[in-house]
Amino acid sequence: MNRKDIINDPDHGNKAEAFEAFDDIPTNPNLNRTIGDVINRRYGRRDMLKGVLGVAATTALFGTSAMVAPKRAAASADASRYKFDELTWGNDTEHHIADGYNADVLLRWGDPITADAPEFDVMNQTAEAQLKQFGYNNDYVGFTALNDEGTRGLLCVNHEYTNEEVMFPGLGRQDRAGFEGMTEELVNIEMAAHGGSVVEIAQGEDGKWSLVRDSQYNRRITPLNTEMTIDGPAAGHARMQTNADPEGMTVIGTVNNCAGGMTPWGTYLMAEENFHGYFWTDKVDAEGKPDVTGMEEAMAKRNGRYGVPGMWYAWGKYHDRWNIDKEPNEPNRWGWIVEVDPRNPDAAPIKHTALGRFRHEGAETTVSKDGHLVVYSGDDNRFDYQYKYVSGGTINDDTAVFGSSLFSDGTLYVARFDEDGTVEWMPLVHGEGPLTAENGFNDQGDVMIDTRMAADLLGATPMDRPEDAQPGPNGTAYLMLTNNTRRQPDQVNAANPRPESSFGHIIEIKEDGEDHAATKGTWSILVKCGDPTIEEVGAQWNPETSESGWFGSPDNCAIDADGRLWISTDQGSSWGKTGKSDGLYGLETAGDLRGHSKLFFRCPVGGELCGPYFHDSGETLFLAVQHPGTDGTKDFRGFERDSTFEDPATRWPDFDPAMPPRPSVVVVTKEGGGKIAI
């Protein structure tokens, strides 16, 4: 499969988006170009220049009239609940935080995390070493305290995927068709760098956090060697059985763990997102595309709906389970929510099939008014859906445990957003409505394995890539719709109102009765992202939002200890569709400043911002800078380049000429202590 085929593949994800960005600076300037992209490009050049020269120099070049004057009414902006001096936007090789705050690197890819782990040796990597070192591309970050003060605890971190071109010397960007140079040893290192990490951290008298390297809790969870069990309606199902697991009850590992969640009882949920990208076939047609000739029709249809096989990685060349020719049922065992007990390193993680199978972005939890567990999870694909799971039982001493029945007995719902501003949560239950054998659903296991197809039949609303979904106070939930450049004008709906949306939007849900378990609610658009000064973009912000405050492509989000919403962005390319780096923003949800956004932190070039996660105290914020220095086919200075191990766009955070960029977790605290942004 060549790159053009990949970018034309309707299925996508971060990695695919990176390829899209790669090919979006083409010799043919109209390739996949959208109105939004044209606007971005025009605007972006000025921004790139300004990012390098700085505001003062740009003002000298263009005169003040060229600057976009923020419409600011001091009294109103002063009423912001986010008490910090806004950071100025930009895009350069370092990370930046608002004045008065520390942003310290806590854990970097390759850092030894167990007492017996070898020191990181980037020129002599091995899978064995990587299994004891911090993984690649940190995404979700969660924390569960080990003492009453919360000064000791377990940090739970997802490692979503790998970027070979900046991980390994001498490779360059890998061609999906050939994977030149991807040996079995390199593939195994990649597998060992995926998954998750659980590490104990402790806060010193000086307020700084550090790794407790000899902690008994420290471990890696990987697709190379971590055995997991399966529960829920699809456990043991005939379509879950493989040669290695004839019972359909166990699986080795987890992949593409994007966002996630912590349960109210302190276990760690890892979402399996772009699992399709890891599957391989030896059967390709003359154009290099997967050839499904001879595949049973129903299986070809199901695989097609999920984008299997994606062939993003060479793993299937060396491991039969990633090759669908050899293990046709294996893809059914991925795309689930995985629960990990961080307090018991010996406990096998569990894939909970009652929460459905799709490209789960995350799994944020809350508790309904009468004590049910509620989990919000988006399916991050263009035109896919928003889901919510509600447990059958309620939380009590018996159920607030790892492997709880609350995760195996419950109802998965998919959202339909109606024009009148109501949202209906429709249950995915076998035998109800069209979910019958006539339509290919023989049991609830089929409904869960083929969640997307079940949701299609129920008439769910096709969204602009549902990323993180965060339940908030009083029955609210915030949905990050990151972008969808392929939505045509005749495909818009009230909840996804912009065609060719490059910048995405955020929806606020208010569940009926302020109860997260409600099956009905109302919805509204909190912001439409992008530059508010360019009319064609169609952005919607509170008018007090400054030039630094607006953003594009919301991805992750968090609610802090004071109920305030924070948004992190992923624009999918180092040059940034907006010309700005990705970052963290405080976004007002209520009052006169509803829709007002302020920039608090920004990433080094090429990095997207993940996490964010607030410590219960509100005094520590964990952030994850993912893939710094990558996707650099067009760098922030406007020069075309391929970021590689040898020549990355930045060497953050070490700035050592012998070290490539390293995805890292960053800890934010207030200088002198105290709550963040209060």
Interface residues with ligand FEO (CB under 6 A) are 14, 160, 258, 273, 361, 380, 467, 555
273 binds, among Ca ion, ligand FEO, none (CB under 5 to 8 A by kind): ligand FEO
- Of 555, 560, 582, 619, which lies in the binding site for Ca ion, with binding defined by CB under 5 A? 555
Query: For residue 389, which of 400, 380, 398, 378 has the smallest C-alpha distance?
Result: 378
Report, in Å, the least distance between residue 337 CB and Ca ion: 15
- Segment interacting with Ca ion (CB under 5 A) among 9-17, 38-46, 308-316, 520-528: 9-17
DSSP 71: -
Question: Which CA distances in Å does 461 have to 220, 303, 384, 386?
Answer: 37, 21, 8, 8
Which range in 8-16, 175-183, 330-338, 432-440 contacts Ca ion by CB under 5 A?
8-16
Q: Which residue of the chain is nearest ligand FEO when measured via CB? A: 258
544 touches which of Ca ion, ligand FEO, none (CB within 5 to 8 A by kind)?
A: none
Q: Which amino acid is at 519?
A: T
Query: Minimum Å distance from CB 13 to ligand FEO?
Result: 6
Instruction: Specify the DSSP class assigned to residue 55.
Output: H
Should residue 379 be labelled a site residue for Ca ion when binding is judged by CB under 5 A?
no
Q: For Ca ion, which is the closer residue by CB, 451 or 626?
A: 626
Q: Which is nearer to Ca ion, 186 or 610 (CB)?
A: 610
130 binds, among Ca ion, ligand FEO, none (CB under 5 to 8 A by kind): none
Q: Are 270 and 337 in contact (CB under 8 A)?
A: yes
Q: Which does 635 bind (CB under 5 to 8 A by kind): Ca ion, ligand FEO, none?
A: none
Look-up of token digits 């023989």? 442
Stretch that binds Ca ion, among 71-79, 226-234, 255-263, 487-495 (CB under 5 A): 255-263
Q: How far is the CB of 377 from ligand FEO (least distance, A)?
A: 11
Q: How far is the CB of 250 from ligand FEO (least distance, A)?
A: 26
- In the complex, the smallest distance separating the C-beta of residue 160 from ligand FEO, rounded to whole angstroms, is 6
Nearer to Ca ion, 262 or 659 (CB): 262
| Closest to Ca ion by CB, 98 or 258 | 258
Binding partner at 111 among Ca ion, ligand FEO, none, C-beta below 5 to 8 Å by kind: none
Residue closer to ligand FEO by CB (options 273, 544) is: 273
CA distance 495 to 196: 34
Alpha carbons 446 and 233: distance in angstroms, whole number: 8
Q: Least distance to ligand FEO from the beta carbon of 273, Å? A: 5
CB of 583 to ligand FEO, least distance (A): 16
Closest of 79, 50, 83, 81 to residue 67, by C-alpha: 50
Cβ distance to Ca ion smaller for residue 377 or 408: 377
Nearer to ligand FEO, 306 or 402 (CB): 306
258 touches Ca ion (CB under 5 A): yes
| Residue sitting closest to Ca ion (CB) | 570
Q: Are 139 and 258 in contact (CB under 8 A)?
A: yes
CB atoms near residue 103 (< 10 Å): 18
Min dist. Cβ of residue 571 to ligand FEO (A): 12
User: Could you say whether residue 619 binds Ca ion (CB under 5 A)?
Assistant: no
Q: Whole-number minimum distance, CB 549 to Ca ion, in Å? A: 21
The separation between the first and the last C-alpha atoms of the chain, rounded to the nearest angstrom, is 52
- Cβ atoms within 10 A of the Cβ of 212, count? 18
User: Residue 160's binding partner, choosing from ligand FEO, Ca ion, none, with beta-carbon cut-off 5 to 8 A by kind?
Assistant: ligand FEO
For position 570 contacting Ca ion by CB under 5 A, the verdict is: yes
Nearer to ligand FEO, 378 or 521 (CB): 378
**214 C-beta neighbours (distance < 10 Å), count:** 10
Nearer to ligand FEO, 361 or 635 (CB): 361
CB of 263 vs ligand FEO, minimal distance in Å? 21
User: What DSSP letter does each residue of 117-159 carry, written as one string?
Assistant: PPPP-GGG--HHHHTTB--SSEEEEEEEESSTTSSEEEEEEEE
- From the list ligand FEO, Ca ion, none, pick the one residue 588 interacts with, judged by a Cβ distance below 5 to 8 Å according to partner type: none
Say how far residue 352 (Cα) sits from the centre of its chain. 19
Which residue, 43 or 279, is less far from ligand FEO as judged by CB? 279
As a whole number of angstroms, the distance between CA 168 and CA 109 comes to 13
122-127 contact pairs (CB < 8 A, 24+): 122/169, 122/658, 122/659, 122/660, 123/169, 125/167, 125/168, 125/189, 126/185, 126/189, 127/185, 127/188, 127/189, 127/191, 127/192, 127/224
Counting contacts by CB under 5 A, is residue 364 touching Ca ion? Answer: no
Strand (E) or helix (H) holding 44 = helix 35-62
Residues in a beta bridge with 467: none
Please choose, out of 14-22, 310-318, 331-339, 429-437, the segment that lies near Ca ion by the rule CB under 5 A: 14-22
CB of 480 to Ca ion, least distance (A): 8
Neighbour tally for 73: CB within 10 Å: 11
| Closest CB 610 distance from Ca ion, rounded Å | 6
Question: SS3 for 555-586, per residue?
Answer: EEEEECCCCCEEEEECCCCCCCCCCCCCEEEE
Give me the residues that bind Ca ion (CB under 5 A), please.
14, 258, 555, 570
